[in-house]
Amino acid sequence: MERTSETTARSSHLRRIALAAIAPLAAACTEPRAERPAPPFRAPARLVDTGLYADFAARRIADGVHPYAPQYPLWSDGASKERWIALPAGTAIDGADPDHWVFPIGTKLWKEFRFARAVETRYMERGPDGAWLYATYRWSEDGSDAVLAPEHGVRGVCETSETKRHDLPAIADCRACHEGTRTPVLGFSALQLAPERDPLAPHAEAREDGDLDLPLLIERGLLRGFNAERAPRVAGRSARERAALGYLHGNCASCHNESGPLQRLGMRLDHPLACATPPALATSLGVASAFQRPGITQRIAPGEPDRSVLLQRLAASDALAQMPPFGRHLVDREAAQLLREWIEHDLSSRRP
């Protein structure tokens, strides 16, 4: 009996020692764990890993990735381009504001630039926190791969024409253009995807079967809440004016608009769907320009293209005067001629 009591006491003592030893472990298991910070949102190292291709070697685009072509494309030293967009399954673009669509988290866009061969593919993705990621992928000369370019960009990657060379943009350049307006996605909007395309639009790209346009977006449930009062069409008084204003919208409005950093200038080259009178006319015709040259003092001098700052800067080739200030080295001669004829002929009746 005494031995049994002694054994029981010894067992209780050992149990207390064991419990004391494991108490810290038990507490650690029951206490809430500190959440680990989410990994940084970064672009993949190679284009093949962005989700654009189902078969990279065959250049077969993945299911759920849709091609599109804006009617007023951004001109980039004559590069030919292809563009695609992908939305996460079950999501849609919020089109309640017809001029400023809101894209769902996880939206991806790609734009390929070609000068005789594929040179770069630019990539955008809306991250988990709502911020947009920007990246550029540089294609190898043999087209076997496309790898992430440095954040500071790459100068002179290939020859374009007139002894000029194409530059891959820095991420800061991407932000300067895309974040100068309320909607960072450029070239994908009701106006740009309107089914009635402008036949005189400079560098117009033919819409191919399968390309997304406004009716197709709505039909597939990829755009919701869109209800514009006016048809998505540039309100020009002539076919030439429509094309000129459309070009300014597609190439200049990312900076010259009502909400970006340059709104203080009071010069709007965007074309809101609700406006019966294009803001470009109200803010440019006969308006004094802060950028002046001898005899050239108005943003647009009606009937006088050689005295119009807007045209002179579009046709300039030096870095201090040219517009846009980056993204091109060559003058867009087709657009310059269109704007010259528009100012000289269509606007001559508006001389003060």
- Choose the final residue of a domain: 178, 206, 231: 231
In which band, very low, low, confident or very high, does the pLDDT at 343 lie, cut at 50, 70 and 90? Answer: very high
Q: Identify whether residues 242 and 330 lie together within a single domain.
A: yes
At residue 28, the pLDDT reads 40
Query: Looking at the domain assignment, is residue 203 inside a domain?
Result: yes
Query: Looking at the domain assignment, is residue 204 inside a domain?
Result: yes
Q: Identify whether residues 85 and 196 lie together within a single domain.
A: yes
pLDDT per position as a tens digit, 190-240:
999 999 999 999 999 988 999 999 999 999 999 999 998 888 999 999 999
Burial of 330 (C-beta count, 10 Å sphere; 0-12/13-18/19+): middle
At residue 319, the pLDDT reads 83
Q: Identify whether residues 209 and 309 lie together within a single domain.
A: no
Q: Identify whether residues 67 and 211 lie together within a single domain.
A: yes
Distance CA 71, CA 243 (A): 10
pLDDT per position as a tens digit, 249-263:
999 999 999 988 899
Distance CA 83, CA 188 (A): 10
Query: Looking at the domain assignment, is residue 242 inside a domain?
Result: yes
Number of domains in the chain: 2
Query: Looking at the domain assignment, is residue 12 inside a domain?
Result: no
- Choose the final residue of a domain: 231, 247, 276: 231
Mean pLDDT computed over 9-28: 44
Q: Identify whether residues 286 and 303 lie together within a single domain.
A: yes
At residue 349, the pLDDT reads 87
First-to-last C-alpha distance (Å) of the chain: 121
CA 150 from centroid of its chain's CA atoms: 19
Query: Looking at the domain assignment, is residue 154 inside a domain?
Result: yes
pLDDT per position as a tens digit, 288-336:
999 989 999 999 999 999 999 999 999 998 888 999 988 899 999 999 9
pLDDT of 285 over the 90 cut: yes
At residue 34, the pLDDT reads 53
In which band, very low, low, confident or very high, does the pLDDT at 16 lie, cut at 50, 70 and 90? Answer: low
Q: Identify whether residues 58 and 200 lie together within a single domain.
A: yes
Query: Looking at the domain assignment, is residue 17 inside a domain?
Result: no
Q: Identify whether residues 84 and 223 lie together within a single domain.
A: yes
% of the chain surpassing 90 pLDDT: 78
Q: Which domain holds residue 173?
A: 42-231
Give SS3 for 66. Answer: strand
Mean pLDDT computed over 30-51: 76
Distance CA 149, CA 46 (A): 9
Query: Looking at the domain assignment, is residue 348 inside a domain?
Result: yes
| Mean of the per-residue pLDDT values of the chain | 89
pLDDT of 89 over the 80 cut: yes
Calculated CA dihedral for residues 65, 99, 256, 78, nearest 10 degrees: 30
Q: Identify whether residues 164 and 88 lie together within a single domain.
A: yes
Q: Identify whether residues 227 and 249 lie together within a single domain.
A: no
Mean pLDDT computed over 168-182: 94
At residue 38, the pLDDT reads 58
pLDDT of 8 over the 80 cut: no
pLDDT of 247 over the 90 cut: yes
Rg, the chain, Cα only:
29
Q: Identify whether residues 215 and 347 lie together within a single domain.
A: no
Q: Identify whether residues 267 and 200 lie together within a single domain.
A: no
Q: pTM of the prediction?
A: 0.87
Distance CA 255, CA 39 (A): 33
pLDDT of 24 over the 50 cut: no
At residue 87, the pLDDT reads 98
Q: Identify whether residues 78 and 215 lie together within a single domain.
A: yes
Query: Looking at the domain assignment, is residue 23 inside a domain?
Result: no
- Choose the final residue of a domain: 182, 214, 231: 231
Angle at 252 between CA 71 and CA 192, to 5 degrees: 20
